[in-house]
Structure 1
């Protein structure tokens, strides 16, 4: 069995420990991850409390870990033109900040009031976002949320990406959102590896059921009912060689330290997403 992917830690996994971004980076690096996804709000909190871009950049460089992406929430697809305009202003500000850090990408989920927005309209808004982002040097990863009122399945995201006309548009995929939104996991086979920007990794139990399960119910890879080994096989077969990023929202780790959680997550991810070599 082999593990053919790169590894990343989404900082949400360490939220219970209330670490600043420097500490998040150091814990991820010490645990052995190749990359990290930081949350823009954490970066902004760090800067507001006296931190500097230079110090964070130096920390990333010394840790030998790559800032592979960032999690942000701006209303790029809201039904309100005013909200979208404000969202794009926010997006530009945040992406310029990330570019200074050498960040590669930013998540673009269906945040805001999107229920009455058609997928075709979303495609046009995503094209606008991609143009802005790429001009700054950032790649937007189109993300679907299983609980969103629109853009909640993988086939929705594929349609938006294709309809947008964005060359080599990339998706952010997540088995939890595939499960809660009712996506067909087999749809992954229709993608090329190059269409996936990053793949979030997690697992989920059978109880609570799909209709009521929340982010806080996510568990470590291999501890739930997600078809992790099958997902790994499909990802490998379609040519995906990028990052698997552990994204959990567990409130309490029963006495484990941040480093122990990061190490446990890395081991669980590598074990659950092995393929036959």
Structure 2
């Protein structure tokens, strides 16, 4: 098992500080937020320099999070998506990072379900072709409050695309919040389809409540509505032994000393995963 510090857990850090904190608090790897990573590169940083920092701490870059809005499918927006995919894939390759997260948001929610699935299949297929050239793979995260939000949708797209560099991230909150998946569904998965786990908690919105992730996900694992041990055991039942990324989406906790916060998050994840 590789325990990675997710960039959202220490949201106000930069990538260099996140790397040091991860090393000092017992993590094995890092899941960098794409905007923090690109900010570093756009302001004088380089992939060789960051790779040296990460490896110097005895860590690995486990995942880049994320190539977003992958539902863009027309004209200049589609070309922008592919340009972003190429840049992030090149960066991942230079960092020897095996995995990029990909996700759709609300740009095609108004379309019929069949068309949504066709767009996701086409776009993810083209992204996967980029990754094949660089030895990079992509984990699909389904977002609870979109119309591409279920495990079965992701599995169907993976089947349609038919490429070994496309798989899943098991994000406890997103899969729980849709109400469409259970730990039993996760336990039945082929472990080869699981590229990563987002270890997190939260709750479903109350009737009429907006989907505000900074509210619904602002819980340390064990404090929300998710049976964390059941979901953890379900992933382990598949035989998956890859990257578990500690993802704490809490504005209140972001104001803590990030060293202490990262230590607390690591201890919490270790409590459930061993």
1:239 is aligned to 239
Q: Is the 8 A contact 2:145 2:211 kept in 1?
A: no
2:185 is aligned to 187
Question: In the comparison of the two structures, how many residue pairs are matched?
Answer: 267
TM-score under structure 1 normalisation? Answer: 0.89
Deviation at 1:267, TM superposition (A): 0.8
Q: Is the 8 A contact 2:131 2:165 kept in 1?
A: no
2:252 is aligned to 252
Partners of 1:147 and 1:206 in 2: CA distance: 10
Q: 2:97 aligns with which of 69, 82, 103?
A: 103
Deviation at 1:254, TM superposition (A): 8.2
Question: How does 1:133-172 map onto structure 2 within 5 Å?
Answer: 133-149=131-147, 151-167=148-164, 169-172=166-169
Deviations 1:182-225 (A, max 9, x none): 22213213311111010101111477579545321321111222
Partners of 1:82 and 1:195 in 2: CA distance: 32
Q: Which 4+ stretches in 1 moved above 6 angstroms?
A: none
Deviation at 1:40, TM superposition (A): 1.8
Structure 2 residues without counterparts, runs of 5 or longer: none
Cα distance change of structure 1 residues 167 and 56 upon mapping to structure 2, 3 Å threshold: closer
Cα distance change of structure 1 residues 208 and 258 upon mapping to structure 2, 3 Å threshold: farther
1:177 is aligned to 174
TM-score under structure 2 normalisation? Answer: 0.89
Partners of 1:235 and 1:209 in 2: CA distance: 30
Cα distance change of structure 1 residues 228 and 210 upon mapping to structure 2, 3 Å threshold: farther
Structure 1 residues without counterparts, runs of 5 or longer: none
Partners of 2:87 and 2:270 in 1: CA distance: 36
Q: Is the 8 A contact 2:140 2:168 kept in 1?
A: yes
2:74 is aligned to 80
